[in-house]
Copies of this chain bind each other. A is one copy, B any other.
């Protein structure tokens, strides 16, 4: 169920519940940049997210340059965004927030 591609309307609704995430022009992924004080804090965040992602069996596409982490989420098998992407986004926001 959670791996079913969401409709455009459902994506817009789910996105409204998030802060700082942007929808790709093609509607197929969401992205956010997280900025920390230093590398140590950025990688600590990535480590928490990695554990959550592995548990969900749903993994981010992400890059890291020193204190910055760029994340893109989509569900490859579904060819777009699913509930899993928004669940992972919320988890990241929660870890980022505190």
- Cβ of A39 < 8 Å from any Cβ of B? yes
A50 to B63, CA, bound (A): 13
Chain B hits for A88, CB < 8 A: none
Q: A9 contacts the other chain (Cβ, under 8 Å)?
A: no
CA distance A40 to B52 in the complex (A): 11
Name the one of B39, B40, B61, B65 contacting A65, with C-beta atoms under 8 angstroms.
Answer: B61
A-B contacts besides A39-B50, A43-B47, A59-B66, 14 pairs, CB < 8 Å: A39-B53, A39-B54, A39-B59, A40-B54, A43-B54, A47-B47, A59-B65, A61-B63, A61-B64, A61-B65, A62-B63, A62-B64, A63-B63, A63-B64
User: CB within 8 Å of B: which residues of A?
Assistant: 39-40, 43, 46-47, 50, 53-54, 59, 61-66
